[in-house]
Homo-oligomer: A and B are copies of this chain.
Amino acid sequence: MRQTRQRQLILEHLKRTANHPSATEIYDLVRQDLPSISLATVYRNLESLCSLGLAKKVETFGGQKRFDAIVADHMHAICTKCGKVRDIETEPEFKPEKLRSIDSDFEITGVRIDLLGICPECMRLQNQNKEEK
């Protein structure tokens, strides 16, 4: 794969951004260094990084997909209000690898364990609204 400035920057920002950015969030970040980049390029590169195994898609709530530069199996906590994603320390007994051995007709290639809920920020907003009523 050819090494371009845009590809470099996209991967760099993806690695640096903890909360699993969406395509448009990466677009905004990269634009700070390279204002001429187009959103289409971001999508195309995220796609190719995924197929090279350098990134992974995270299916969230709220439409947009998010991306993750940590490709090893791990758990996520996903906010069902705002869609933000956070990595979770996995207790050894819940290691995703254990699930891979579960039998099925499927050729299992990966495992996804997500805790769904409300993140602290959204929780705070919710409580504020209640108080205002």
Determine whether A112 belongs to the interface, using a CB cutoff of 8 Å to chain B. Answer: yes
**Are B107 and A117 interface neighbours, CB within 8 A?**
yes
Across-interface contacts of A94 in B (CB, < 8 A) = 94, 98-99, 102
Range for the number of chain A residues in contact with chain B: 35 or more
Of the listed residues A86, A98, A107, the one surrounded by the most CB atoms of chain B closer than 10 A to its CB is A107
Q: How many Å lie between the Cα of A104 and that of B96 in the bound state? A: 18
- Counting from the closest, the 6 A-B pairs by CB-CB distance are A59-B59, A106-B117, A108-B117, A110-B116, A112-B114, A107-B118
28 residue pairs from A and B, CB less than 8 Å apart: A77-B108, A86-B106, A91-B102, A93-B93, A93-B98, A94-B99, A99-B113, A99-B115, A100-B115, A104-B115, A105-B119, A105-B120, A106-B117, A106-B119, A106-B120, A107-B118, A108-B116, A109-B117, A109-B118, A110-B116, A111-B113, A111-B114, A111-B116, A112-B112, A112-B115, A112-B116, A113-B113, A113-B114
